[in-house]
Each structure stands twice: as C-alpha cells, then as structure tokens.
Amino acid sequence: MKKRLRSFWKEESGVAVIFVAISMVVLMSFTALAVDYGMVYYHRSELQTALDSAALAAAQKLPDKEAARRTAIEYVRKNGIEVKSDDEIIVDFLQNDTIVRVSSSVETKTSFARIFNVDTIKSVAVAAAQTKEVKQGQQSFDHLLFSGSRDDRLFLDSQFEIFGSVHTNNKFFFSPSNGVIHGEVSAVVPGSSYNGGFRAGSINPNASYIPMPDFSDSIAKYVPPFPTETAESNFGYAANKIRGIRGYVSPAYVNSLNQQNITLEGKTEYSGPLNIKAWGSTTIIGEIYVKGSASFQGKLIMNSPNDLLCVDGDLNIGGGLFGKGTLIVDGDLTISGGGPYTFDGDIYVAGNFRSNAGLNATGKIVCKGNMNISQSFNFYGPSSNIPGVIYCDGNLSANLYKGKADIICQGTISFTGNSAEHDGLLYSAKQINVYTGLISNNITILSKDDITVNSNCTIAKGVIYAGKNFNCYTALEGSVYVFAENNLNYSGYANNNTQLDIAFYAINGNISISLSKTNVTGIIYAPKGNVHMGGSIEIYGSIIANSFTGSFSKLTIRRNENGNPLDVGKTVKRTVLVQ
C-alpha cells in the first residue's frame, strides 16, 4: 500500500504548478480590473463634479437659455473635462425651461485590461439643476424703536415710555422731562449721553451693528399687481357693433313726431341723426342702430337685457336712463334730467361720459374718455357675489359715490360730496383724491401716483399702495396697510376709543405722523428714510427706520402681542441639484 501511495504522488507532482499558474492569471486579471476600474471611477467622479457645477451655474442664468448653455459648457471645461468639441456637452431644458440638464461622457484608457483587448472604458454622467424660491421663517427682531443709520444720532426728548428695547447704529442723546425705556438701550458709535429725567433697564454703549431688517416680501403678499385691462382693451364688442352700422332707414318720420311717448322696436338702422322729441319717454324694444348722433328729449327706457341702442356719434338723453340692456356710444354720452335713474346693463362710451343726474347702475361701464357723475352715483354688480366693473381711460370724478365694484382708471380718480363708500378694487394710473372721506368694509386702493385723503376714513379691512406719496390729513380708523414708494404723511386725530390697526411702509422715502391722542397697533417702517413723530400717540408695535426724529408731546410704545404684520417671512432663491 505504501508503495502505491508513493507512486501516486510522484504522478501528480505537476498539478501544483498548473494550479499556481491558473491562480496567478486570475489574480492578475482581478488586479487589472481593480486598477483600471479605479481609474474609471475617478474619472467619472471628476465628470460628475464638473457637470454638477455646470448645471448649478447654468440654472442661475435662466430664463436666458443661450446664456445658460454657454455657462454650462464653460464650467465643464473649467473643471478640467477634455472634450473634442462643444457638441459633446449636451445641454437640455426641462419643465418649461426651469431646469437645466447637462450630460457628457469621458473615456478612460486602460492599462492591465488591454491584455483582454479592452483599450478604453466610457463613462456617462448627468446633472440637472433648478432655481427655486425657498420660504424662510419669520425674522426675530425685538426692538420697539430701531434707527439703522450709521450717520444719524437718535434723539429723544419731551415725554416717552417704551416697554422694550431700543437700538441705534449711531449714538443716542436723550433729554426728556420724563423718559423711560424698560428694556435695553444699545448704540454702536461711542459718545452716547443723556440727561434730565431718563431711566433705562440697561444701557449698552458699545453694541454691535445690526442690519436693517428686510420686510419687502410683504409687498408681494399684500399688494396685488396693477391691472392690465383698460377701456380700450374691453371695447372690442362695442367697436364691432359700431363698425357694422349701415344706416338703411331714414329717421325723418320719427324725428317729426311730437308726442309724449314713443316706442322704437325691431332691428332698425337709421341713416342719419336721430332727434326724438317725445317729452315723456322713448322705449327701445330690440336693437336700434344710428349712423350719426342721437338725442332724446325725455326718458330713455330699455326693459330687456337683449335691448340695444348703438349710436355712431354723440348721444344726449334729457330725462334719464332707465331699465336694462346695452348702450353703445361712439362719441360723448350726456345724461340730464331728474334723478336718480336706474339702469341695469352695460354702457360703452368711446368719448366722454357725463351725467348731470343721479345714477344707480349695475353691470359694466366702459369709457375711453373722461367720466363725470355730478350727482349721486351708486354702482354695484349684477349680484351680491359679482362686483360691478368700471373701465375708464380718462379721468373719473364722482359725487356722493357708493358702490361695490372694481374701478380701473387710467386717469385721475376724484370723489367729492359726502364720504364715498366703496368695496372692491380702486385703481388709477395717476392720482387718487378722496376729498370727503371714505368708508369701506374691504378695499384695495392702487395708484401709480399720489393718493390723498382729505376727510375721515373708516376702513374695516384695506390695502393702500401709492406709487409716489400717500397723504392723509384726517382721522383714519379700522385696519389698513399703507405702502408708499416715496413719502407717507399722516396727520389727523381719533379718540381714545378708536382702534387703528396699521402697517405703514415707506419703501424709499420718509414717514411723517402727527396725531392727537390716538392708539395705533402695528408697525411704522421706513428702511431708507426718516420717521418723524408728532403729537400724542400710543403705539402697540414698533418703529423701524433708517433714522428717527420727533416733535411729540408724548410717545408710548408697547409690544404688539400679535407680532409684526409686515414680517411674512423671507423668500430667497436657491439653486439646487434635482438630478
């Protein structure tokens, strides 16, 4: 048996050599793969990093796609990726051109893998980026009085009591007869001083600089965009009706009638001026067209929503407008007579619209010229849920106005008579003048110019935006947020029982407030200007301005437990990878 075993091992002596040889080949193959694919991974990582950088940079150039494309290619090359031509860098735009996707490839030359006839290995990478608006939380800003200027000293005298902290980025000088700041007073510039009857919870004369808080996002939240519709853009229906007038019927017969009441009916097109002498009323039944001007001595009545009077010229109505239907005038419309008269329908006027009588109306008024209602004017929508609408491309002047409507005017708006009552949108591309007060449950007032209120204003809920200055020279009460691009001036009065919730924001200018014994809740904010306070006022909120001055007899500032209405959180743009 031992001899046989020895013989067997002698016969298998070459197997180990073969096994070692095969093992070496396998080991060298795995080594080759490890080395080569390590280089592939390295090059692909470089490519991915370059594409990530390119996509992030390109996304910031949108919506300019060509600039984004150039930026993507530039950043790929800057990051050391070698390509034969720009065509090897593919730039796509996705989701309505809000996302930039960049893709490319690189080839890695192999070393050991060449023994397996693999000379290069191709790697492909993709990156996509998008710029998004990210909502941040509310800012933490606890100062009840803040002066952000590095150059203007904060000066307080007379009587004041502030139930919180005060900060100035310059220095302060306080010289009151009786002044108390219950929190900390801090200043950045050395040299602050005080005398007289001043007390504070603590004083920090060497504080750090505090930047002006930015509440500009509140503009987008509270102030809607300017309307783009005009009387001209809403005149298409009327213009088509006017262009279609041919004037087949002579008006001679109806012009000759001299009687109390007349009815014009059917679809009739008169060829010349229509002069109706009926001293009682003229009733329109159907569609009446006039190729020229028209006049009605008495009342004009339309009883159906389908009734239509279309005049290719001026229209004069001597006894008022009544009923319902559609009135189209290619010239001036003048309405006289007793009033008020009531009309439920649409009125289109290519020229000026003047009413010397009172007007109660619902529906839509489109006037390409000036509009003047010299007597009482009540204007509402066809139902309680649908407001009326007035488009006026000239100036609009209304006396004794009451309404629930959207008034969109390209000229100046003026309200006279007793206090105007309005719910809805009030827009002017020029000035808005309220001479006799304003009462509203819910109103938005927008002007590209000045807004001036000369008499008492009671607004349950409202937003006011002045493209230039806002001036209020009377009592203001209710809840109203006022934004002015330039200056905001408020001088008036209200008794101690009056509740006034405000946000006053002078975007680029100053705020001047002079009130008599008024309680105010909210914020007074002039980040680029001065806030000047006069009179006697108690504020539940804060005053934040570039600088602050005062000629007040007494100023009291308490914390608003409901917070700052302008602090709606900050929206910032961030570019992020989405692939």
Reported as a single tens digit per residue, the pLDDT across 349-359 is 999 999 998 88
545 has a pLDDT exceeding 90: yes
Other Cβ atoms less than 10 A from the Cβ of 556: the count is: 17
Residue 521 pLDDT exceeds 90:
no
User: Closest Cα partner for 219 from 453, 466, 470?
Assistant: 466
Choose the weakest-confidence range: 378-392, 535-549, 553-567: 378-392
* DSSP helix/strand/coil, 164: coil
Average pLDDT over every residue of 339-362: 92
Question: Cα separations (Å) of 494 from 176, 405, 519, 531?
Answer: 26, 29, 8, 20
Angle between helices 65-78 and 15-59 (to 10 degrees): 140
Q: What is the pLDDT of residue 88?
A: 86
Taking the CB of residue 398, how many other CB atoms lie within 10 A of it?
27
Flag the least confident range among 218-232, 426-440, 490-504: 490-504
In this structure, are residues 93 and 69 in contact, taking their beta carbons and an 8 Å threshold? no
Which residues fall within 8 angstroms of residue 85, CB to CB, at 6 or more apart? none
Is the distance from CB of 543 to CB of 563 less than 8 angstroms? no
Task: Report the mean per-residue pLDDT for the chain.
Answer: 88
Contact 58, 129 (CB under 8 A): yes
Return d(Cα 73, Cα 61) in angstroms, integer: 13
Q: Contact at 8 Å (CB) between 37 and 121?
A: yes
Residue 24 is part of which domain span? 15-135
Assign 3-state DSSP to the chain and report helix, strand, coil percentages, each to 5.
15, 50, 30
395 sits in which H/E element: none
Sequential DSSP letters for 439-490: EESSEEEEESS-EEE-S-EEEEEEEEEESS-EEE-S-EEEEEEEEESS-EEE
Give the model's pLDDT for residue 109.
Answer: 79
Highest mean pLDDT among 107-111, 424-428, 533-537: 424-428
> Within a domain: residue 32?
yes
| Half-sphere exposure at residue 135, Cβ-oriented, CA atoms within 13 angstroms | 8
Band (106; pLDDT cuts 50, 70, 90): confident
Q: Phi, psi (5° rounding) for residue 361?
A: -145, 155
Q: What is the mean pLDDT of residues 248-263?
A: 93
Residue 99 has pLDDT above 50, yes or no: yes
Q: Determine the Cα–Cα distance for residues 430 and 446; give it in Å rounded to an integer.
A: 10
CA distance 459 to 437: 10
**467, 395, 521: which is closest to 223 by C-alpha?**
467
**Number of Cβ within a 10 Å radius of residue 366:** 26
On whether residue 74 sits in a domain, the answer given is yes
Question: Tell me, what's the pLDDT at 495?
Answer: 46
> What pLDDT band is residue 572 in, cutting at 50, 70 and 90?
low
User: Which range among 310-319, 349-358, 470-479, 486-495 shows the weakest confidence by mean pLDDT?
Assistant: 486-495
Q: What is d(CA 67, CA 336) in angstroms, rounded to the nearest whole number?
A: 62
Domain-embedded: residue 492: no
Give pTM, 2 decimals: 0.78
**pLDDT confidence of 17, banded at 50, 70, 90?**
low
Neighbours of 337 (CB within 10 A): 19
- Asked whether residue 290 is domain-assigned, the answer is no
DSSP single-letter state for residue 435: S
Confidence (pLDDT) at 433: 94
User: What order of strands is seen across the sheet that includes strand 99-109?
Assistant: 90-94, 99-109, 120-135, 571-577
Length of the chain: 579
The verdict on residue 493 lying in a domain is no
Using alpha carbons only, what angle is made at residue 506 by residues 505 and 509, rounded to the nearest 5 degrees?
Answer: 165
Peptide bond before 340: cis, by omega within 30 degrees of 0? Answer: yes
State the residue for tokens 């007899």. 553
Pairing of strands 99-109, 90-94: antiparallel
Higher pLDDT, 58 or 518: 58
What whole-number distance in Å separates Cα of residue 166 and Cα of residue 146? 6
Inter-residue contact 488 to 503 (CB < 8 Å): no
Q: What percent of the chain has pLDDT over 90?
A: 59
164 lies in some domain? no
* 38 within a domain of the structure (yes/no): yes
Beta-carbon contacts of 33 under 8 Å, excluding residues fewer than 6 positions away, are 112, 113
Mean per-residue pLDDT, 297-322 = 95
- If one counts every other C-beta atom within 10 angstroms of the C-beta of residue 130, the result is 20
∠ CA 134-125-73, rounded to 5°: 75
| CA distances for 345 relative to 302, 331, 341, angstroms | 10, 19, 13
Q: How many of the other CB atoms lie within 10 Å of CB of 115?
A: 12
* pLDDT (mean) for 205-230: 93
Query: What per-residue confidence (pLDDT) applies to 259?
Result: 93
% of the chain residues with pLDDT over 70: 89
State the pLDDT at residue 524: 94
The two three-digit tokens of residue 21, written as one number: 């040889």
Confidence of residue 419 (pLDDT cuts 50, 70, 90): confident
Report the C-alpha gap between 358 and 433 in whole angstroms: 21
Selection from 437, 413, 564 nearest residue 501 by Cα: 564
**pLDDT band at residue 85, thresholds of 50, 70 and 90?**
confident
Residue of 369, 373, 416 lying closest to 394 (CA atoms) = 369
Is residue 496 very low, low, confident or very high in pLDDT (cuts 50, 70, 90)?
A: very low
Tell which residue, 308, 336, 306, has the closest CA to residue 321: 336
In a domain, 28, yes or no: yes
Q: Half-sphere exposure (CA, 13 Å, Cβ side) for 428?
A: 24
10 pLDDT more than 60: no
How many domains does the chain fold into?
A: 1
At CA 415, angle to CA 346 and CA 342, rounded to 5?
35
| Segment 309-320, tens digit of pLDDT | 999 999 999 999
